[in-house]
Amino acid sequence: MDNWKWGQEYLQEAEVLKKHLLPVRKALKSRTLGVEESQKFAQRESMLYQMYLECRATGRHLQESRP
């Protein structure tokens, strides 16, 4: 597999992660969550966002380093 295709897979995975972030962020804005639930959603949001950023950066890097 060449770097461009590999990078494209990473970018597609980044988009999937971004879609998973939307309901988590919506839940965090909800005023019905308790303290513990809010903390759990905040941790999940942080983890998903970091994964999204890593996939996006890796995908871009792979595509830019294409020979």
Q: How far apart are CA 59 and CA 10, in angstroms?
A: 5
For residue 28, give its domain range: 3-64
Q: Please name the residues in contact with 25: beta carbons below 8 A apart, sequence gap of 6 or more.
A: 45
Where does the chain have alpha helices with state H?
3-29, 35-64
Assessment of whether the complete model's pTM goes beyond 0.85: yes
Cα separations (Å) of 49 from 4, 16, 65? 23, 11, 24
Mean pLDDT by runs of 10 across the 67 residues of the chain is: 92 98 92 88 96 98 84
Closest listed residue to residue 54, CA positions, set 22, 5, 18: 18
- Structurally, the chain folds into a number of domains equal to 1
pLDDT of residue 65: 85
